[in-house]
Structure 1
Amino acid sequence: MQGKRRTLKLLTALLVLLIVGLMAGAIHLQKNSNALWQIINEKCLPNMAANGKPAPCQQVNRAQGFVTLKDLNGPLQYLLMPIEKITGMESPIILEPTTPNLFADAWQQRALLAQKSGAPIADSALSLAINAQYGRTQNQLHIHISCLRPDVRQQLDALSPKLNAQWQSATLRKHRYQVRTLSVAELAQQSAFIRLADEIPHARSEMGKYGLALAQLPDGRLALLALERNWLKLNSGSAEELQDHKCAILAQ
């Protein structure tokens, strides 16, 4: 009897995984996964070249190799994307030393949210996130610059005294993250993608499984958070789950 129950549980788990996989595939099929790249390549870059205006992008920074775009989701959310065609976390291009330090660039662009809101925004309310290969709908690398969830803010504040430059496990939004601290200078010195590939075992060969997020800690340090996709736990690697695009934290 126990053997039959174990078999039934295993079959149920496999069925759930199959359904989740089919749902993820359906989402990708329903949406134009190249929409962001088309905006960059067919609108922002040509408009900037023709008349010096980056619309619909907010800016085209050829020197640093990125564009910024106001996302339709949320009043303040922006996206930072490379000018080069880079699909996402799984692309080997992100680990090349010559590739722009996009995470550092995105953190430097956080002032866009304050400009949009018309009022200063504390860094403690802000965050960056990029989703794993199967936790996204677009095949152009894009870093979400948005507000941090209030409950995640509280969790990070509580974790802060225990965090250091070594990767540690922590549960946020019911998912297991690897978290380490770094300074703003360290963020600028080395790509967060390369740091992940070099420091977490086996990550370099499986980068597409990872999502990354960044938020400030109460003492001014930065927390880099890595989320590995795990279908058995219904986790698609969407680090964007730590963000709140409605920015409820600003009302506190």
Structure 2
Amino acid sequence: MKHVLSHAGLPALVLAGVWLAVAHASGPTRPDPHDPNVLWRIVHGRCVPNQVGQQTPAPCEAVDPAAGYAVLKDRTGRAQYLLIPTARVTGIEDASLLSPDAPDYFGAAWHQLDRALARLGHTMPRETMALSVNSAYSRSQNQLHIHIDCLAPDIRVALHWARPHIGHGWTNLVLDGHTYRATRIDGADLAGALPFRRLAAALADPAREMGEHTLVVVGTVWPDGHPGFILLDDMVKPLSGDRASGEELQDHACAIARFEPGRPLPAHP
């Protein structure tokens, strides 16, 4: 069932104006010191040329030109990685993500979890890891990037108890003080699940609305014992201060790693 919020479908300029009014009313927002094109310049100007010319992806950890993505260790966090398209894709609102031949960025991102776990030094259950893409109103970069990192411990607990209530439709959950919609994805692997298309199918006007949304994918084991994923969607709510930043459900300090038993892994170089 589609959950409709009162501001759904507001055009970007209107939303931007509301954010500005809220900022003036409640004090200045945190300034963004970063160039919004840094990720694009790193991937397009350095990682891809180095991979093609010298067979080394530096400063990225990996570049797959055929699959259309690069993997970069983020400076923030113990184990956080970013999966970044090698093509110019501005963000979740980019129409190219819904084209039939679009790369499966989320599927590729899930396969990068071993890099994060190697940084942590041991394996962890799939329920402890998450992927996120922020909305156009909460991101710092104008190049699509999927955050690959640990799930916040309290969010893991909340999702564990919510599992029996999550089906293949959309179910409302309150996480970190924000209302998310949740839906079930079955399978041990995320390849072919295509979260961007799933979100678009649930919107009245994807071309206008996608940028107002954030997506989070969390690994899980369903109560019936089958592996799968919980797909979470939040929407910008300017008047309540919700910028639709799914990254808020992750923990870049990865505190959950201290409590999860697992098989030791060699240290990441």
**TM-score interval, normalised by the smaller of the two chains:** 0.7 to 0.9
Counterpart code for 1:226: D
Aligned to 2:14: none
Alpha carbons of structure 1 residues 123 and 14: separation in structure 2 relative to 1, 3 Å = closer
Taking the TM superposition and a 5 Å limit, the aligned residue runs for 1:43-62 are: 43-62=46-65
Residue 240 (structure 2) pairs with residue 233 (structure 1): yes
Match of 1:113 in 2: 116
Go from structure 1 to structure 2 and tell me whether the alpha carbon gap of 1:202 and 1:85 turns closer, same or farther (over 3 Å shift): same
Match of 2:191 in 1: 188
Give the paired residue count: 238
Structure 1 position 223, deviation (Å): 0.2
Q: Is the 8 A contact 1:77 1:144 kept in 2?
A: yes
Q: 1:19 aligns with which of 20, 24, 28?
A: 24
Name the SS of the counterpart of 1:115 in structure 2.
helix
Provide the identity percentage: 34
Q: Normalising to structure 2: TM-score of the pair?
A: 0.83
Cα 1:182–1:14 shift into 2, 3 Å: closer
SS of residue matched to 1:137? coil
The answer to whether structure 1 residue 77 and structure 2 residue 80 are counterparts is yes
Contact between 1:196 and 1:204, CA under 8 Å: does it hold in 2? Answer: no
> Alpha carbons of 1:167 and 1:173: their partners in 2 closer, same or farther (altered >3 Å)?
same
CA contact (8 A) 1:113 1:121 kept: no
In 1, Cα distance between equivalents of 2:59 and 2:43: 9
Q: Look up the match of 1:5.
A: none
Say which of 90, 99, 102 aligns to 2:93. Answer: 90
Aligned to 1:178: 181
TM normalised by structure 1 equals 0.88
Uncovered stretches (5+) of structure 2, i.e. residues with no partner: 1-17, 260-269
Take 1:185 and 1:83, find their aligned partners in 2: how far apart are those partners? 26
Q: Looking at both structures, which has the greater relative contact order when contacts are Cα pairs under 8 Å and sequence separation is at least 6?
A: 2
Q: 1:211 to 1:157 in 2, by over 3 A?
A: same
Bigger helix fraction: 1
Most deviating of 192-201 and 141-150: 192-201
What is the Cα deviation at residue 15 of structure 1?
8.3
- Supply the distance in 2 between the matched residues of 1:145 and 1:251 (Cα, whole angstroms): 18
Alignment gaps of 5+ in structure 1: 1-12
RMSD: 2.1
Partner amino acid, structure 1, of 2:149: S
Look up the SS of the partner of 1:69 in the other structure. Answer: strand
Alignment partners' CA distance in 1, 2:134 and 2:210:
11
Question: Is 1:197 paired with 2:200?
Answer: yes
Look up the equivalent residue of 2:137 and give its one-letter code: Y
Deviations 1:159-209, CA, capped at 9 Å, x for gaps: 001111111111000001010010237842242101100124444531000
Cα distance in 1 for partners of 2:65, 2:26 equals: 38
Q: Per the alignment, do residues 27 and 94 of structure 1 end up closer, same or farther by CA in structure 2, a change over 3 Å counting?
A: farther
1:186 and 1:117 map into 2 onto residues whose CA distance is 22
Q: Secondary structure of 1:193's partner?
A: helix
